[in-house]
Amino acid sequence: MTPSLPLKTETQTDLETEATSSETTLTVEEKENALLVGSNLNKTVQVGEQTLSIIKDVNIHVNAGEFLVIMGKSGSGKSTLLGLLAALDYPNSGSVTLGKQTLSELNEDALAVIRQREMGFVFQSFHLLPTLTVAENIAFPLDIARRPNKTRVDELIEAVGLGHRRNSLPSQLSGGEQQRTAVARALVSHPKIVFADEPTGNLDEQNADQVMQLLLDLRQQVGSALVVVTHDAALAKMADRVITMHDGRILSE
């Protein structure tokens, strides 16, 4: 006898219906006004013999200078979507466009240049280079791009309150100090857009509030767009726009 399949609950059906209805194609106006556009994005991963669909037909845009928050439960696909938008991973289908450049069509060398010059990144686990000092970590994107700017580095060190730590290594810093260093590094190049994946996930409440306020203040001074993946409802209230994901789809906006 063939086993019967479990019936979907009304809640599951409602969520899927709402998610599907939110996957509308972006309007011409949205595309023209947007800094970053993700169109019909799909991403799958192979687990053994099984192919799992992580991102499903997602359309999304980010305007210049906008603060956009992406929320959703663990496993909803929000960090994977951020990786696609930031050109840290390639979609299986669909495209990501920054300005007039289609990122998903570029090779890794070309993408590396764009990340250095036009993007900033803040991760949950800091990703500081352990053998470099605070000042050297902040300056690293400029050094890689061969655009040294000591004045800019000094300004950011003071802005994030680490003047007394400029010559310290990451191992000598607290978690909050490490993330403040990462925030300064993300903004040192005056990027067009900053991507932050759970930037306060490893911090206590006091340090989390301080780091996010610094990130918001500094990116506003630079004029960068900011895309943040978070579970923090309080942070979402500060955003210009909030997107919620469910099962690889945009559930609501």
| For residues 141-161, average pLDDT | 90
* Alpha-carbon dihedral angle through residues 119, 125, 127, 129, given to the nearest 10 degrees: 150
The pLDDT tens digits of the residues spanning 73-99 come to 999 999 999 999 999 999 999 999 999
Question: Among 89, 91, 84, which residue's Cα sits nearest to residue 62?
Answer: 84
Alpha helices in the chain (DSSP H): 10-21, 28-33, 78-85, 108-118, 134-144, 150-159, 175-187, 205-222, 233-236
Cα separation of 25 and 2, whole Å? 40
Please tell me the class of the 64-87+106-252 domain: alpha beta
pLDDT at residue 25 in the model = 66
DSSP state of 165: G
Residue spans per domain, the chain? 64-87+106-252
Cα separation of 57 and 79, whole Å? 16
Q: Which pTM does this prediction carry?
A: 0.86
pLDDT at residue 102 in the model = 95
Residues pairing with 245 in the sheet: 72, 250
